[in-house]
Structure 1
Amino acid sequence: MNDVTTQIRLQQALQGHEAVELLFPGEPGYEEGRQLYNRMHDLHPLLIVRTLDRAAIRTVLKVVTENRLELALRGGGHHIAGFGSTEGGVLLDFSGFRGVEIDAQQGIARVQPGARLGDVDAALCPRGYVVPTGTVSDTGIAGLTLGGGIGWFVGTLGFTCDNLVGADVMLASGEVVRAEDPQHRDLLWALRGGGGNFGVVLEFRYRLSPLPKVYCGSIAVAPQEVPRVLLQLGHYMEQDCPANLVLAPLFSPVPESDRCGLAIDFCLSDYQDLGAIEALEQALGLVGRHQYVTDDFRAWQGWFDDRFQPPMRGYWKSICLDDFTSDAMDALLTAASSMPGQRCSITIEHLNKARRSTTPDDSAFPLKSRSYSVLFSARWEQARDDDRFIRWVRAAALATAGNDGAPAYSNYSFAEGSSHTVLLGSDSERLLKVKQRYDGGNLFRRNHNIGMNKEAARAPA
C-alpha cells in the first residue's frame, strides 16, 4: 500500500471522531508540527494526529497495526534521540494537551501527557504542592517520568518515577487499563522508569508532596581552582552531603576564553539555617563564595532554560558512576578543557545516597543504586559541524566511563545507546515479562526498545 492510499485510509478511519486534528504533508501546520527539539532529526511522519479522544486513538492504533506502520508518541518532544517523531509512520502528538488537575482529597495530581514541567509547577506550587521533576521547565513530564526523572529534590523525594502512583494506559489492543489496579501493578512498576515500551499513557497520576522551603544559588569556581575544588567536591558528595542539599556541578566554557569554569549549582530544601551551605563552602575552601539566586522554586526550575534553548542540533551522552575515582576526575578535566563550542557542557548530577533509605524501591528504574549521573552535552547550529561535536561527546564519555564502561541514563541517551540503557540492573527479566504481557506485538518500539527477548534487548540498536 502506498503512502497516499494509507493516508486516505487513515483519514477515512478517523472521520466522525470529535476533537481530532490531522496534519498531512504539504498542509498548513505540518512543517512546524513535525519539528523536534533536536534539529539533527529531520523526520517526516505520514500523518500527525493530535487528540486525546480515546476512540480516535484506538482507531489510530488499529490502522497502524494493520498497515505495519511505525508509531511515535510525542509528549514534550525533547528527547535527544528524536523519539517524538517518525519517518513515514504515524505520530500521535500530545504536546498540546498540558492540563494539570489537583485532587487534594486523594493527594494526587492528574497530568495530561503533553504537560511540561513548568505546567506542573504552575498548577501546584501556588497551592503549596510539588511533584519532584527535572531541572528545565520546558521538558515534557511524560518522557521524564517513563525514563526516571532527576531533579532538585532527589535526595528527599526521590526520582520523578518514584512519585507516579497511577496511570491510564491504552494497550495495542485498544483496551485502557489503570496501572495502579492490583492486576496491573507490574505495569505501574514498569512505567516507573522502565521506558515507554508498553502503551499510550493517557493520564499520569502523581503523589503530591508539600512544597519545601528552598534556598537556591551557585558557587562559581575560577578555572585555576577547578582541579583542587573538584577533588574536594568528590569527597564531600560521597561522605558529607545531607539529603536536603542537591548539587549539580556544571562545567562550561568561559566566554571569550579558551578555559573552562565550574559552577556548583545547589538547592537547599526544608532547612532551618544555612549551615549546610556554610559546611559545603568550608569543605571546598571557598568560604563566603556562594551567590544566592532565589527562594522561589518555580523561578529556580526555569533558571537554566536558556542553556538548552532555542532548539538546534544536539548530541548527548550519559554515564552513571558509583563513585568519583581519580581517573574519572582527570578525564572530566581533560574533557572540560577541550569543549569545541560555547554551548557544550558537562553536568554532574549527584544522586544523594540518602535517597535510597527514604524513597520507594518499587520501580523499574535501573539506576536507583547509582551515585552520580554525568551528562556530556553539545549543541550547535550547522550540520557541517556535526562530526566535531559528536566526536567530543563520545570521547569524553568513553574516557570518563573507563575500561569497564558505565551504565547510561536513557533520558539523555541517543538511539545508538540501545535498550541496555533501560535494562541494566537486577530486574531486567521482570521488565521483559511486562513487555511480553502488555505489548507482545512490539507496537510501542519507537524508544529505547526493550525487545522481545534478552538477546534482542541487549543487541546494539
Structure 2
Amino acid sequence: MAGRPVEGFGGVLLRPGDSGYDGARVVFNAMIDKRPALIAQCESAADVAAAVRFGVRQGLEIAVRGAGHSVAGTGVTDGGLVIDLRKMRNVQFDPDARIARVGGGATWSDLDRAAWAYSMATTGGRVSSTGVAGLTLGGGSGWLERKFGLACDSLVSVELITADGELVIADETKNRELFWALHGGGGNFGVATALTLRLHPLPGMTLARLFWPADAGPTVMRAYRDLFEQGAPDELGGSVFYAAAPRRDFIPPTLQGKAAVGVTATFTGSGAELRTALAPVLGLAPDGMMLAELPYAEVQSALDDPPGFRNYWSAEHLASWPDEAVDLFTARAADMPSPMTSQQLVCPWGGAVARYADRWPLPHRSAPWVVQSYGVWSDPADDADGIAWAKNVCADLRPYSTGAVYLNFIGDEGHDRVVAGFGKDNYDRLARVKAEFDPDNVFRLNQNIRPG
C-alpha cells in the first residue's frame, strides 16, 4: 500500500519519512502521538471521495481531520489513513440571504473574521482554532448560544462524502433523516466537505473578565448562579471558573499567577448593557477587571488555548446547582493540577439552547448548567493526576446531573456515555441512520454510533 497511487486523488499524499509528514500528524492534544500509514491532504470533495474509496478497498482504519482539536485525538490513527481537510478552508458569503458556505477544514477564525465584515455571526466554539465542521456536527456550544442557539441550530445544509465514496446533500428537503442526525451525531455518517450556516446580525459585542482571590469563590459563584436563575437576559453568556489569574495589566501583581475565581461575561450588545445585566456580580468588587467592546472575532480568539499541552476534559450537565453543589465544586479546586493551565468552570445554558431541546437528538440541552473540567499540563508524569482530577470534578457533581452530556465536551468515556449523550430513543434512531449511510462503521473514530 505504501507506494500505491490513490486513483482520482489530486491533493498531497504523505507517508512516513516524507517531508512534512511529522508536522501533519500532530493534533491539538499532545497526549496523542500516532503514526498513520498515509495522510491524504485533500483539496476538493473529489479528493475526499477518492481517499475514502481507497481506504475502504485497502481495509485501512480511517480518521477524518478538520482542525484536529478533538481532545480524544480522533483526527489521527496508527497505521491507517488520515483524510486531512485543512486545505479546504474556503468561506463564501451570501450577505443578502445571510448564509455562509464553509469548507470542511475551515476553522471558526476563518468564518468569524469574514462574517464580521458584514456585522454578522453565528454561534461558534470558544476557541477560534476549533474546526467549524467538527463543532457544528457535534452540536456546537459557544458564547452566542443563549442568544442564537447551538451552532447546529443554524445549520442549513451539509455536503457529505459517504462510506461508499458518494457525495450526498442533507438539508430540510433532501435526506431529511440524515440532516436530523447531523445535528449532534458528529462524524459518524461521512466526511463533511462543506456546510452552509445561517448568519445572524450582530452589530456589537462586549467581553468582560473579572477576577477575585480563590477564597471568594463561594460568594461569587452563588451570586453568579442567582443572577441567571432569576432571569438574566439571553444576550448574556459566559462562565464562572477557577483558574490561575493571568499575568495581565488589569490583574493586581499580588493576584497574578495565583489561584483565583473568575467570571467571563459576553454580551451581544454594548458595554453599558453588559454592566447592567451583570450588576449583581460586578457589585462584589472584583480585584481585577477588563471590560471592552470588541469585534466578535476578537472575543472568539481572546481565550484561545495554546497547542502542545497534554489535555483531558470531562463534563456534567446539571439539573440544579444548589449551595451544597457549589461547595463541592469549590473544594475540588484545591486539587487542580497545573493551575496555570487547567481550569474548572460552570456555564449557564437556557435561553435559545433550551428552546430547541426537542428538535434534534440532543436531550442534554435542557440542562440549566454545565460543569466542565479542563485538565491541561505539560509533563507526561502528571497524566494520572490530571486525568483523575478532571474525572473527580464531574464525579462530585454527578448527584445533581441530568445524566445526559454534550459529547464535544468530553473525550473517550465509553459507549454508555455516547448513549447518554443522545438518550436511548435518539441513539436507536441515529443507529438506523448510521446503518443506512455507514453500515460497516467505516467512520468509527469519533463518539461512535454503532450501526443499528
Q: TM-score, normalised by structure 2?
A: 0.91
Contact persistence 1:242–1:354 (CA under 8 A)? no
Pairing of 1:378-393 with structure 2 (within 5 A): 378-393=375-390
SS in 2 for 1:343: coil
Greater mean alpha carbon deviation, residues 114-123 or residues 276-285: 276-285
Pair 1:343 & 2:341 matched: yes
Q: 8 Å contact 1:65–1:443 — kept in the other structure?
A: yes
Match of 1:317 among 302, 314, 319: 314
For 1:265 and 1:89, locate their aligned partners in 2 and report how far apart those are by CA, in whole Å: 41
- Given that residues 155 and 352 in structure 1 are in contact (C-alpha distance below 8 angstroms), is that contact kept between their aligned partners in structure 2? yes
SS in 1 for 2:175: helix
Indicate conservation of the 8 Å contact 1:193/1:366, yes or no.
no
Check conservation: 2:62, 2:445, Cα contact below 8 A.
yes
- Of 212, 229, 253, which aligns to 1:221? 212
Are 2:174 and 1:179 aligned? no
Residues 353 and 371 in structure 1, CA contact (< 8 A), matched pair in contact too: no
Partner residue of 1:203? 194
Q: Distance in 2 between matches of 1:36 and 1:365?
A: 27
Change (3 A) 1:360 1:232: closer
Residue by residue over 1:164-184, the C-alpha shift from the partner in whole angstroms, topping out at 9 and shown as x without a partner, is 110111111222111016240
Q: Report the equivalent of 2:279.
A: 281
2-structure distance, mates of 1:137, 1:438: 31
Aligned mates of 2:420, 2:392 — CA distance in 1: 18
- Partners in 1 of 2:108 and 2:273 — Cα distance? 30
1:138 Cα deviation (Å)? 0.9
1:408 to 397, 405, 411: 405
Distance in 2 between residues matched to 1:387 and 1:31, nearest whole Å: 27
Aligned length: 440
2:157 to 166, 178, 198: 166
Work out which of the residue numbers 392, 396, 401 in structure 2 matches 1:399: 396
AA of the residue aligned to 2:6: A
- Counterpart CA distance in 2 for 1:404 and 1:366 is 13
Which of 31-40 and 390-399 deviates more?
A: 390-399
Match of 2:367 in 1: 370
Equivalent residues of 2:325, 2:400 under 8 A apart = no
Supply the distance in 2 between the matched residues of 1:67 and 1:112 (Cα, whole angstroms).
27
The 5 Å alignment of 1:66-81 reads 66-81=57-72
Residue 329 of structure 2 corresponds to residue 332 of structure 1: yes
Quote the residue 1:449 is aligned against: 448
What is the aligned partner in structure 2 of residue 434 from structure 1? 433
Cα deviation, residue 373, structure 1: 1.9
Matches within 5 A, 1:13-412: 13-14=6-7, 17-18=9-10, 20-180=11-171, 182-254=173-245, 260-270=259-269, 274=272, 277-282=275-280, 285-286=283-284, 291-305=290-304, 308-341=305-338, 342-353=340-351, 355-357=353-355, 362-402=359-399, 406-412=403-409
CA distance in 2, matches of 1:133, 1:92: 23
CA offsets 1:367-392 (integer angstroms, 9 cap, x no match): 22122222101111121221121111
Which deviates the most, 35-44 or 412-421? 412-421
- Structure 1 unaligned spans of 5+: 1-5, 454-461
- Report the Cα offset of residue 292 of structure 1: 1.1
Residues 115-167 of structure 1 show CA distances to partners (whole Å, capped at 9, x for unaligned) of 11111011110122112111111111111111111112111200001111101
2-side partners of 1:259 and 1:105: how far apart? 49
What code does the residue aligned with 1:218 have? R
121-130 or 404-413: which moved more? 404-413
- SS of aligned partner of 2:215: helix
Secondary structure at the aligned position of 2:321 is classed as coil
Contact 1:423 1:450 (C-alpha < 8 Å) held by counterparts = no
Equivalent in 2, 10, 20 of residue 7 of structure 1: 2
CA positional deviation for 1:439:
1.2
Q: Contact 1:167–1:180 (CA<8 Å) still a contact in 2?
A: yes
Q: Secondary structure at the match of 2:383?
A: helix
Q: CA deviation at 1:354?
A: 5.0
Deviation at 1:401, TM superposition (A): 1.7
Cα separation, 2, equivalents of 1:21 and 1:191: 28
Q: Percent identity?
A: 30
Shift of 1:240: 2.2
Change (3 A) 1:38 1:421: farther
Q: Bigger CA drift: 246-255 or 167-176?
A: 246-255
Cα offsets for 1:237-288 (capped at 9, x unmatched): 22221111112112103579896311111111146x8355335333674268
* TM-score (norm. length: structure 1): 0.89
1:402 CA displacement: 2.8
Supply the distance in 2 between the matched residues of 1:123 and 1:430 (Cα, whole angstroms). 36
Distance 1:275 1:37, change over 3 A: closer
Cα distance between partner residues in 2 of 1:373 and 1:244: 18
Contact residue 246 and residue 267 of structure 1 kept, 8 A? yes
What RMSD, in angstroms, separates the aligned Cα atoms of the two structures? 2.3
> Which amino acid in the other structure matches residue 200 of structure 1?
V
Cα displacement (A) at 1:425 = 6.4
